[in-house]
């Protein structure tokens, strides 16, 4: 027998020995026996129960893993509970010491939902592979919409349109949401998103930010459309025909141009000032100073809340 044949024989023996060991480990977690897929890595597709997820996180989890991401956990739980979870090439992974090093937030989501999670499971991954995990550029919801060919009545999904959809649904302090959840927003918020695009087909620096467009989209469910269109026209040009009735739009325009950022606390401020400006503009109230409120003036319609469910139902 040649040296190469002997080496291959020893390698096959080692792989088979490891396969049996991992089959026993997987069995303890109520998973099917994994298959060798190459480079000493094994994999299977498993339905992980909340109890098994709890066992993994309690007894088979690497120490000093990065902290939990509460927003991601809530999103995963919402998708699982509502039947929106989809099997993909991403999953959970155990290292060569049978300790979980990737997928903790998915498992916490499974526990939070109280329902099984169907996922790919990888075993015997080299510890050195951990440094190459999750280091690439994260695919955005806009990327996903492009890949899936999703538009809003033929309108291409842009970053500002996606930001507007999130704020219309969840308000200015919205947190991270899963891809599936964001694709659902595009389906159910078609009408306000098309209205926003029709009024602002091109980006205007410091004006067409998510907080402003989201507030306009939310208001479009409630106020006179013709009057709201005029409000948008003033935001585009800064030109006011009647200062007695249109002063609120002019004040918002100047406030936005003077703002430095669209995110963080400034996003909330811009959202509530936009709502207040719309309210005063619709009622043709002459004002000299623009204040921000602390509560929503325009609620998300109940019919939309019901369609979105989950976290959207929490919007007050």
HEC sequence for the chain: CCHHHHHHHHHHHHHHHHHHHHHHHHHHCCCCCCEEEECCEEEEEEEECHHHHHHHHHHCECCCCCCCCHHHHHHHHHHHHCCCCCCCCCEEEEECCCCEEECHHHHHHHHHHCCCEEEEEEEEECHHHHHHCCCCCCCCHHHHHHHHCCEECCEECCHHHHHHHHHHHHCCCCCCCCHHHHHHHHHHCHHHHHHHHHHCCCCCCCCCCHHHHHHHHHHCCCCCHHHHHHHHHHHHHCCCCCHHHHHHHHHHHHHHHHCCCCCHHHHHHHHHHHHHHHHHHHCCCCCCCCCCCCCCCCCCCHHHHHHHCHHHHHCC
Give pLDDT tens digits for 12-39: 889 999 999 999 999 999 999 999 999 8
Average pLDDT over residues 156-185: 88
For the entire predicted model, the pTM comes to 0.67
The pLDDT mean for the chain works out to 88
Average pLDDT over residues 284-296: 90
- The pLDDT value given to residue 313: 42
- Is residue 312 very low, low, confident or very high in pLDDT (cuts 50, 70, 90)? low
């Amino acid at each position: 027998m040649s040296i190469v044949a002997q080496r291959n024989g020893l390698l096959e023996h080692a792989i088979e020995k490891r396969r049996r060991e991992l089959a026993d480990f997987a069995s303890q977690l109520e998973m099917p026996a994994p298959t060798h897929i190459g480079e000493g890595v094994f994999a299977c597709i498993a339905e992980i129960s909340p109890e098994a997820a709890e066992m993994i996180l309690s007894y088979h989890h690497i120490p000093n893993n990065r902290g939990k991401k509460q927003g991601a956990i809530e999103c995963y739980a919402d998708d699982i509970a509502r039947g929106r979870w989809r099997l993909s090439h991403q999953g959970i992974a155990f290292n060569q010491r049978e300790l979980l090093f990737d997928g903790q937030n998915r498992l916490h989501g499974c526990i939070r939902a109280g329902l099984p999670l169907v996922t790919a499971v990888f075993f015997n991954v080299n510890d050195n592979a951990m440094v190459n995990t999750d280091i690439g550029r994260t695919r955005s919801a806009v990327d996903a919409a492009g890949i899936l060919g999703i538009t809003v009545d033929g309108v291409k999904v842009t970053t500002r349109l996606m930001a507007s959809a999130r704020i219309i649904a969840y308000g200015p302090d919205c947190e991270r949401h899963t891809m599936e959840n964001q694709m659902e927003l595009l389906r159910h918020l078609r009408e306000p998103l098309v209205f926003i695009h029709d009024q602002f087909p091109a980006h205007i620096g410091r004006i067409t930010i998510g907080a402003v467009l989201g507030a306009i989209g939310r208001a479009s469910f409630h106020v006179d459309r013709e009057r709201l269109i005029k409000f948008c026209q003033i935001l585009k040009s800064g030109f006011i025909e009647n200062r007695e009735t249109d002063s609120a739009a002019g004040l918002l325009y100047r406030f936005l141009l003077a703002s430095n950022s669209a995110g963080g606390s400034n996003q909330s401020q811009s959202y509530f000032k936009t709502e207040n400006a719309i309210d005063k503009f619709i009622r043709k109230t002459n004002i000299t100073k623009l204040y921000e409120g602390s509560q929503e003036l325009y609620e998300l319609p109940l019919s939309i809340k019901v369609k979105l469910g989950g976290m959207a139902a929490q919007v007050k």
